[in-house]
A and B are shown apart, each in its own frame.
Chain A
Amino acid sequence: MYRYDEFDHTLVAERVATFRRQVRRRLSGELTEDQFKPLRLMNGLYLQLHAYMLRVNIPYGCLSSRQLRKLAFIARRYDRDFGHFTTRQNIQFNWIKLDETPDVLAALAEVEMNAMQSSGNCIRNITADQFAGRARNEIEDPRPWCELIRQWSILHPEFSYLPRKFKIAVSGSSNDRAAVKLHDIGLYLRRNADGVVGFEVIVGGGQGRLPYVGHTIREWLAKEDLLSYLEAVLRIYNLGGRRDNPQKARIKVQLNALGPDEFRRLVDEEWAAIRNSTLLAVPRAEIERITSYFADPAWETLVDSPATLADQRSADPAFDAWYRANVVPHRAPGYAIVNLSLKAPGIAPGDLTADQMDKVADLADRFSLGELRVSHRQNLVFPDVRQVDLALLWQELQSLSLATPNIGRLTDIIACPGLDFCSLANARAIPVAQDIGRHFAGSASLEDIGELSINISGCMNACGHHHVGNIGILGVEKNGQEFYQLTLGGSSGEDASLGDRLGRSISAAEVPIAIEAIVTQYKTLREADERFLDTYRRVGIDSFKDSVYGERPERRRAAA
């Protein structure tokens, strides 16, 4: 993974020193809250229901064991012994003190981590496919490009006071695991007709109160044009994004108001003026320098699918069930990608205790060349595990409750912190996830149900990505009570789609029952290997509506 050089270290250290001064000026009253708030947000510090919450960047989801140990230290020393992994591959701590934040940032800087621009109306953490560089059939590793974009975006003098937040995601695989089309800018690494790898540029995706799937505004962009093109898009947004209404201030609103063609024309016009600017050209030497950090590790030369593994699988059904659910093929023979499920039944999705962090760091050193990934579905990944080590690793993960065989399945639920933590929330999300998890615990039924995503948000800001869950759950408040609105048919992949509203909102207690009804209906209707999403797209919403809310009145009348 990327390692800071003297310039990166200096920039982060200077940022910490500046923020230390800004905190001092706030505490003394020299700065009002109104003046301080954007500065605090640009260093990742929110004021929430219980205390300040600090959001720490995990750039494009890449983490080292050393960094994870530092996160454990921070959780213990400055917080309440746990952290929460988010849908943007970041980690959040919920009880950080303002007057200690500069010390926390200094501790993070020691391990090349930071919280710069993890919040605020600026460019946020660049996210990526959690299997980057390891999955089979990847066109190209997105991580070097993520690092290039990250540096370009940090403390950009022109784009630090945008109309609203700005999120960028990159994928190098034909299987989009990074929700690329739901970002302000999404990038797919693609080959053109001549076989040259470049970027498809998608703009204007986003969730929240006004969800949109992004539009491709450029089918193929040469790599050398990446920064100039991004600069053109950001400039059009900075000038033309709405500033009168925060709920209409994202680029998705601007693009859809203008229409994709007009938006593209404005970008191209600006881009023509800066395309050949030396200010935005990236020397080949720098691209090579960054790329070298992501070179393949010194994998051993191993036999793929060794006999020992097959024996272990047939000897132990529980190990085999975990293997089928949580282990993914790796491009190096004899290796595997391992998902660590942070979705044990009854656990708050995405949470990890300080003790677990330390132990996972040790396991990463033993089994995964000292590196991990964070997925936007709030799980962790060991990207480089030898297949012969899988059985032993599985036992270790079981002892940490990180081996629930549910990746990509019904209980692999995304849940935002919700009303338990977040001042924006209308309802709680975590208890709903816990209830569903307990209701459906038991891997045999999960495997039979197959691929199914449930995403839960506690308010319309959609940090739980409910619009793109196969089943989406949105918490709402009615007369002081929590209710939940369900949607069906969302997807965050290449075939991105927004879910359709199922019907009137239901109580928390009714949610697991409704899921049960939906799942039963799916199993009744499915053909061949159809996933839930496939069946839904084939048959539509009506029979699912009936299964949850009962027969429609017309039908009852007709039968009478």
Chain B
Amino acid sequence: MGLIRDGRLVPDPFTDVSALEELPAGVALIVSFEQWQAHRDALLAGGQPLGLRLNSDQPPQLVATDLERLAVIALDFPRFRDGRAYTHARMLRERLGFTGEVRAVGDVLQEQLHFMQRCGFDTFEVQGPDPEQAWRTIAGDHTVWYQAANDARPRALDRRTSPDQ
């Protein structure tokens, strides 16, 4: 497994402690919503970059007022069939104006990476032995899109009326 950004494997500066008891100090952390609620002030005082891992039943509106303090929001796919995080990612970007990193974690399959990216995710915890290859495999799958999402890709109907797109 590895963290993919822009198609490349990148080191992860964060430690995801959302499933752990202890919150180590002096390290960039990704915590759960419950940990955030319990230790918010201490975490903010620690001066490290912070991130939140939200479950699929935790809409990002829950932390709307804290977003500017968070470097990364990790949205969990508990099972790849649970598609709520696609909406949560868009809401983070389009409704709440979040400009930090939106990370896809959990049951993230190669065949969903494109949709995730279109919805505003910019990093992905990709399973398997060769995450870069997984990304390369799907990267060329689509050159036509019917609808707009949280990306700059032109809709087919806009290209029809403005052929330069």
Complex contacts, A408 vs chain B, CB 8 Å: none
* A156 CB-CB contact with B under 8 Å: yes
Interface residue tally of chain A, by bracket?
35 or more
Chain B residue with Cβ nearest A21: B137
Complex contacts, A273 vs chain B, CB 8 Å: 95
Residues A238 and B146 in contact, CB atoms below 8 Å apart: no
**B contacts with A, residue count (CB < 8 A):** 36
Q: Which of A58-66, A157-165, A429-437 contacts B (4 or more CB under 8 A)?
A: A157-165
Residues B83 and A162 in contact, CB atoms below 8 Å apart: yes
* A528 CB-CB contact with B under 8 Å: no
A238→B161 CA distance, assembly (Å): 31
A7, A35, A39, A282: which has the most chain B beta carbons within 10 Å? Answer: A7
* B118 CB-CB contact with A under 8 Å: yes
Residues A7 and B115 in contact, CB atoms below 8 Å apart: no
> What mask results when residues 147 to 179 of chain A are scored 1 for a CB within 8 Å of chain B, else 0?
000011011111111100000000000000000
Q: Separation in Å of the A539 CB from the closest CB of chain B?
A: 48
Complex contacts, B63 vs chain A, CB 8 Å: none
Complex contacts, A158 vs chain B, CB 8 Å: 83, 86-87, 90, 115, 119, 149
Complex contacts, B83 vs chain A, CB 8 Å: 121, 158-162, 238
Chain B residue with Cβ nearest A12: B144
> What mask results when residues 3 to 30 of chain B are scored 1 for a CB within 8 Å of chain A, else 0?
0000000000000000000000000000
Residues B144 and A10 in contact, CB atoms below 8 Å apart: yes
Residues A286 and B157 in contact, CB atoms below 8 Å apart: yes
> What mask results when residues 47 to 90 of chain B are scored 1 for a CB within 8 Å of chain A, else 0?
00000000010010000000000000000000011111011001
Residue A160 contacts which of B115, B141, B158 (CB distance < 8 angstroms)? B115
> What mask results when residues 114 to 129 of chain B are scored 1 for a CB within 8 Å of chain A, else 0?
1110110000000000
Chain A residue with Cβ nearest B128: A30
Residues B143 and A238 in contact, CB atoms below 8 Å apart: no
Residue A238 contacts which of B86, B138, B144, B145 (CB distance < 8 angstroms)? B86
Chain A residue with Cβ nearest B109: A35
Residues B87 and A152 in contact, CB atoms below 8 Å apart: no
Complex contacts, A11 vs chain B, CB 8 Å: 142, 144, 146, 156
Residues B157 and A283 in contact, CB atoms below 8 Å apart: yes
Residues B142 and A155 in contact, CB atoms below 8 Å apart: yes
A276→B152 CA distance, assembly (Å): 18
* A542 CB-CB contact with B under 8 Å: no
Q: Which A residues are closer than 8 A to B by beta carbons? A: 5, 7-8, 10-11, 14, 17-18, 21-22, 35, 38-39, 121, 151-152, 154-162, 235, 238-239, 243, 273, 279-280, 282-283, 285-286, 289
